[in-house]
Amino acid sequence: MTEAPTISGNRGLQLEEPLIFELGRPGRAGIDLPPPPPVDHDRLAGMRRSGPIGLPDLAEPQVVRHYTRLSQKNYGIDSGLYPLGSCTMKHNPRLSEKMARLPGLADIHPFQPMSTVQGALEVIDRLAGWLKALTGMPAVAMAPAAGAHGEWCGLMAIRACHEHRGQSLRRRVLVPESAHGTNPASAAMCGFTVDSIPARDDGRVDLAALKAKLGDDVACLMLTNPNTCGLFEGEIQEIAAAVHAAGAFFYCDGANFNAIVGRVRVADLGVDAMHINLHKTFATPHGGGGPGSGPTVLSADLAPFAPLPHVVHGAQGFRLVEHAAEAPDARPFGRVKGYHGQFGVFVRALAYIMSMGGDGLFQASGDAVLNANYLLARLGEALTPSFPGPCMHECLFDDRFLKDSGITTLDFAKALIDEGFHPMTMYFPLVVHGALLMEPTESESLESLDQFVAVVQGLAARAKAGNAEEFKQAPRLTPRRRLDETLAARNPVLRWKAE
Amino acid sequence: MSEMRFTKDHEWIRVDGAEGTVGITDYAQHALGDVVFVELPAAGREVAQGAEAAVVESVKAASEVYAPVSGTVTAANAALQETPALVNESPEGDGWFFRLRLADAGQLAVLMDRAAYDEFVKTLE
Amino acid sequence: MSHRYLPHTEADRGAMLAAIGAADIGALYRDVPASARRDRPLDLPASQSEMEVERAFQRMAMTNLSAACAPCFIGAGLYRHHIPAAVDQLLLRGEFLTAYTPYQPEVSQGTLQAMFEYQTQVALITGMEVANASMYDGATACAEAAVMACRITRRHQVLLSGGLHPHFRATTQTVLRYTGMEADALAPDPVGTEDLIGRIDAATACVVVQNPGFFGGIRDLRALADACHAAGALLVVAVADPVGLGLIAPPGAMGADIVVGDGQSLGMGLSFGGPGLGLFATRDKYVRQMPGRLAGQTVDVDGKRGFVLTLSTREQHIRREKATSNICTNSGLCAVAFSIHLSLLGEGGLTRLAELNHANAVLLETKLRPIKGLRVLANSYFNEFAVHLGDQADAAQAVERLAAKGILGGVPASRFYPSYPELAPVLLLAATETNTEAEMDALAAALAEVLR
């Protein structure tokens, strides 16, 4: 396991790279600037900085080399299959990057006179139109910056609507126990309490249990559909009807929209509000943790409460409504972030949507579901599926296949890393033990899936054959191995400090 | 040695006269994994039986520690701030969380003794 | 159907369906209620080639007047800086662009080390002890700071300066709306006369100020910080343009407890205001109350230094409804862009860039002073200041006329404060390193003309 070390500490193309602060040398510079124009005196009110900041100085070649080496330690969708459940790691088209960099879209300021940015407002309006058409919903709030932000936005609209109707005692939100953590967190940020609904043995929401929890203090139900087990909630229309009959709203977490985009309109399922993750379903890059964008579609009842700003189209062209007074028929609950939304992400998502079209999206969701069911079918013997098929765009396994092996889901995932794959989602959802949730997306070819299947089958066989030690040592081949997360949490070191 | 009693949420209390010492069991520390941080109640705080009194965090989880009985907190184990690993190493000894003055000793009656707790833990496995 | 982003052929699909034992893809959707299920695409535009999509976007792009073609003097929280070519080239590397959140640290050391370096840079420039890996933008970071201050102090009142960016103010008010916390927002403060200290009391969780202020004005915040701390409250300071921190005393040196801002100006460019980059920094003692992701240093089994996400128990995926925030996806790639740009600048470069920005703003002020009826409202500023165009002037109209002459001449205060008629003549103007003296002369001449 321990090879003879090299003199440099490098291993072939695996290059060790210090922190940027350890590379600097005063007097270097990566940018040249013209000298400032002479001025009589400054306008700093004596508030000039007196001490050093402590930033390193480097030249351009060093900076390029530093970040190039860092990038080489990363895995991305461009590197290979990235089967993270509910993340929808599909291919990020490069056309989107090119369009986002057109000077007419990249080099415009949000506070230019509106007459000078009609094309930008048209981008927002066209994307909004697509999202409304794909969901069948009459309105969309474009501003939220990510999925969780969209959840909060939808819940705020719901709370504002109940308050407006004199139903301010509706403070309880029903959330399935399988829900993503953002759901209860978003509800708490709106001043709601969270009440958990159990799942049935088949992985779906227990309708009877839901009905028992409904009451006139319930503001809404938050449901992910397809759910976090990768299953479509077949009783969703009955669920929606029960929720509406109880005077509550139905919020749908749209993280798994990729399973049904272009095939099912959520309005037909009885949904009142749903956030859409542009960085999932609409192929904008994940960037190592954002930026995302979470536009939230709204029903007619909730539409008046949508946050500012809105893009409207009238005789004079496109306009941004930025103040409540400009929209007398609306009751916006407020502003959710600065400026007009994640415009750069809108451009990328719209480029993807226009490239795919209605027919392409229909095929994409079908292929996504096909790919997940293929994995479920081919891995159903080697692993233990948690629920019988068909699944939607992701398939869920649990750790029963590892029973008595001494190997955990974590160990299995680390072994997968040595094989050149990013692991699937582990330990989520919490409703099964040692969950392994896989979402291949429609971007994977049959060869890619077959390769993945062969490797997972091989690993499962080794696990069952009792090679526990091998799994415990994994990963062996990565630049870093089994990092000590306990130490990181007990003694947090969250920045570099000069000696 | 004073008797220990246990809750279904895996807290223990060791009573000595009117004072009790509270911690979490070996089963709990094992389930949590490496403890990285604890949030302890301040002296003088009143806690109710079954209500949240402290929080124990591992890398991947955060769990509430509930007061086994009602009372007033008299001391918290400052050693845990520096060395949270004590909870893993000595859950029933040096890894104690806090001490309290019991409000009502009668509340101990609903708690399990060690034999009953060990039986209870067997049913969870 | 065949498409450039979909690898499957009909033969592939057939083979896979056979392996699954399904007749067709539609059969896999059997759980969808019949009334909602579709067996053919919605009535929407059909797929398009790259060429056709490009054509459509070129058309939309060309109907915008970009700062590449027209001198731009607009700031108001977002500043046009020159982005070095190397930044974008590095950002387009697929391993940065297409990576996910670094939950598997062994295959994400690139992202994690970049995050750690970014956190350090933000802490250094703000003069604070610790920073997170980013929030969505400055406005949401400001709102989260207010919530955090309430959590730490166990109080409910937040005081918002009238010099705070109106979007930061509005977002904070919205976030607090149903939480039982209250935001007391002072009226807009164009000449810096508000009294914040006098309004602090035992119910105040924090005071939120911007320095330099929205209309200009650089303050020494130490007296305000002392007053806050004496009352048991926290001081939250918002920074408009992080480049200013190359020249001005940082909030951390003046007693700030939390610093927020938007870093979009560095690394990402204007992009019509989004995506943003929420800077968020605080003191070590508050780190467990800070929202957002954190990268931490550790070692691996071979004893080598590496980085992991840490203190995750603050976050939603573990703490759920008790989390510090619901934030999950943040602004990762924007943080990397910021970090690369700042690495190219270095201490020397950031200082020189800030000097150049300030000198250009002073030069612009000098050229505008002779204009009849115009007065500058702030005695101090970094690269942006408010001017009053004269009592009868309408700054919004002036800006429209300047645009018709091909100049993006600032933003009228009325765009943010439509219900304050006394602000109708107020215009916000910014000058960065990208503005030439010729552009400033053109602006001065055009402004004089439109005001006649």
Q: What is the pTM of this model?
A: 0.96
Give A-chain residues touching B34 at CB under 8 angstroms: 486, 490
Give the integer Cα–Cα distance in Å for A205 and A132. Answer: 27
Structure tokens at C408: 């993006």
* A293 and A344 share one domain: yes
Over residues B18-28, the pLDDT tens digits come to 999 999 999 99
Q: How far is A190 from chain C (nearest CA, A)?
A: 6
Please determine, for residue C112, whether its predicted confidence score (pLDDT) is greater than 60.
yes
Q: What average pLDDT does range A406-433 have in this prediction? A: 94
- Residue C53's alpha-carbon distances to A181, A262, A279, in angstroms, are 37, 19, 19
Using the beta-carbon criterion (under 8 Å), do C296 and A493 form an inter-chain contact?
yes
Question: Into which CATH architecture does domain B4-124 fall?
Answer: Beta Barrel (2.40)
Q: What average pLDDT does range C81-92 have in this prediction? A: 97
Chain B residues with a Cβ under 8 Å from any Cβ in chain A: 33-34, 36-37, 57, 59-60, 84-85
Q: Most A CBs within 10 Å: which of C125, C128, C136, as the mutation test of the A interface?
A: C136
Over residues A465-476, the pLDDT tens digits come to 988 999 999 999
For every residue of A49-117, DSSP letters joined together read --S--------HHHHHHHHHHHHTTB--TTTS---BTTT------HHHHHHHT-HHHHS--TTS-GGGB
C245 near A CB under 8 A: yes
The whole-number pLDDT of residue A5 equals 81
Q: How far is A13 from chain C (nearest CA, A)?
A: 14
| Torsional class of A3: left (φ above 0), alpha (ψ -120 to 50), beta (otherwise) | beta
Q: What average pLDDT does range C405-412 have in this prediction? A: 98
Q: What average pLDDT does range C297-318 have in this prediction? A: 91
The whole-number pLDDT of residue A430 equals 86
Domain, as residue range, for A224 = 95-352
Q: What is the CATH number of the domain that holds A368?
A: 3.90.1150.10
Question: Looking at chain C from residue 197 to 216, which residues have their Cβ under 8 Å from any Cβ of chain A?
Answer: none
Q: Does the structure's ipTM exceed the value 0.90?
A: yes
Structure tokens at B73: 């907190």
Helix (H) or strand (E) holding B38: strand B35-39
- Among the candidates A320, A352, A384, a domain finishes at A352
B43 near C CB under 8 A: no
* A299 and A338 share one domain: yes
Please determine, for residue B33, whether its predicted confidence score (pLDDT) is greater than 80.
yes
Structure tokens at A207: 């309708």
DSSP letter (8 states) at residue A205: B
* A395 and A325 share one domain: no
Q: Give the residue from chain B lying closest to A484, CA to CA.
A: B59
Question: Would you say the C-alpha torsion A148, A154, A158, A163 has a positive or negative sign?
Answer: positive
Using the beta-carbon criterion (under 8 Å), do C319 and B62 form an inter-chain contact?
yes
* Number of separate domains in chain A: 2
Give the nearest partner residue to C80 out of A109, A325, A335, using CB atoms.
A109
Q: Give the residue from chain C lying closest to A259, CA to CA.
A: C29
Helix (H) or strand (E) holding A241: helix A236-245
Q: Most A CBs within 10 Å: which of C35, C96, C98, C181, as the mutation test of the A interface?
A: C98
Give A-chain residues touching C334 at CB under 8 angstroms: 287, 290-291
Q: What average pLDDT does range C409-431 have in this prediction? A: 97
Residue C162 contacts residue C194 (beta carbons within 8 Å): yes
* A222 and A157 share one domain: yes
- Residue C120's alpha-carbon distances to A31, A496, C304, C452, in angstroms, are 21, 6, 20, 51
**Taking the C-alpha atoms of C423, C424, C426 and C430 in order, what is their torsion angle to the nearest 10 degrees?**
110
CB pairs under 8 A between A and B: 15
* SS3 annotation, C208-256: EEECCCECECCCCCHHHHHHHHHCCCEEEEEECCHHHHHCECCHHHHCC
Over residues A347-376, the pLDDT tens digits come to 999 999 999 999 999 999 999 999 999 999
Using the beta-carbon criterion (under 8 Å), do C6 and A364 form an inter-chain contact?
yes
Looking up tokens 């933008």 gives C137
Chains touching chain C, criterion 3+ CB pairs below 8 Å = A, B
B61 near C CB under 8 A: yes
* A347 and A378 share one domain: no
Indicate whether A363 belongs to any domain.
yes
Indicate whether A135 belongs to any domain.
yes
Mean pLDDT, rounded, of chain C: 96
* A279 and A398 share one domain: no
What is the set of domains in chain C, with CATH numbers?
Answer: 1-41 (no CATH), 85-341 (3.40.640.10), 346-451 (3.90.1150.10)
* A376 and A243 share one domain: no
C13 near B CB under 8 A: no
Using the beta-carbon criterion (under 8 Å), do A485 and B57 form an inter-chain contact?
no
The whole-number pLDDT of residue A12 equals 84
Give B-chain residues touching C312 at CB under 8 angstroms: 59-60
Over residues B45-87, the pLDDT tens digits come to 999 999 999 999 998 888 999 999 999 999 999 999 999 999 9
B52 near C CB under 8 A: no
Please determine, for residue C316, whether its predicted confidence score (pLDDT) is greater than 80.
no
Give the integer Cα–Cα distance in Å for C325 and C237. Answer: 20
Using the beta-carbon criterion (under 8 Å), do B37 and A490 form an inter-chain contact?
yes
* A146 and A174 share one domain: yes
Give C-chain residues touching B62 at CB under 8 angstroms: 313, 318-319, 322
C288 near B CB under 8 A: yes
CB pairs under 8 A between A and C: 736
Please determine, for residue C64, whether its predicted confidence score (pLDDT) is greater than 70.
yes
- Among the candidates A352, A367, A383, a domain finishes at A352
* A311 and A385 share one domain: no
Chains touching chain B, criterion 3+ CB pairs below 8 Å = A, C
Mean pLDDT, rounded, of chain B: 93
Please determine, for residue B2, whether its predicted confidence score (pLDDT) is greater than 70.
no
The whole-number pLDDT of residue B1 equals 45
3-state secondary structure of C363: helix
Q: What average pLDDT does range A259-263 have in this prediction? A: 97
B42 near C CB under 8 A: no
* A326 and A373 share one domain: no
**Exposed, middle or buried: residue A325 (CB in 10 Å: 0-12, 13-18, 19+)?**
exposed
* A336 and A409 share one domain: no
Using the beta-carbon criterion (under 8 Å), do A148 and C249 form an inter-chain contact?
no
* A345 and A418 share one domain: no
C360 near A CB under 8 A: yes
C376 near A CB under 8 A: no
Please determine, for residue A2, whether its predicted confidence score (pLDDT) is greater than 60.
no
Over residues A297-355, the pLDDT tens digits come to 999 999 999 999 999 999 989 999 999 999 989 999 999 999 999 999 999 999 999 99
Using the beta-carbon criterion (under 8 Å), do C93 and A68 form an inter-chain contact?
yes
Total residues belonging to chain A: 499
